Amino acid sequence: MRLPDDLDKALWEDVKKTEEGQQMRYVSSFERILMDQGFKKGLEQGIEQGIERGITRGEAKLIERLLQQRFGDLPAWARQRLSLASESELTAWADVVLTADSLESILGSSPH
């Protein structure tokens, strides 16, 4: 059994398009090595940033605990300042947390 010529031609064109669509672009060894290196570098940077963020969060939590022990329950504005603080702010606050007279003298005044 044979297909009519126009259907046979259409079938082979569809098969050809399907095969072309499924073919993958050749990636050379050099390209593959560069892609692997880029992936590894990105992964290392992500891990490093995650570690740094974890350390910063830990510092903020410790300062929060020290402030609570020294001044009692912290208002929402103080908790927010701690959660948004940079590493340099946390370091500065850690240096004065045990000697400051008030929460405001450490973190600044509340944003009213």
Residues 46-95 have pLDDT tens digits of: 999 999 999 999 999 999 999 999 999 999 999 999 999 999 999 999 99
Contact 78, 107 (CB under 8 A): yes
pLDDT-derived band at 9, boundaries 50, 70, 90: confident
Bigger pLDDT: 112 or 64? 64
Query: Residue 11 falls within a domain, yes or no?
Result: no
Question: Within a domain: residue 95?
Answer: yes
The whole-angstrom separation of Cα 81 and Cα 34 is 42
Residue 111 within any structural domain of the chain? no
Would you say residue 110 lies in a domain? no
**Amino acid 90: pLDDT:** 94
Decide which of 16 and 52 is more confident.
Answer: 52
The whole domain housing 85 covers 27-104
Q: State the total domains in the chain.
A: 1
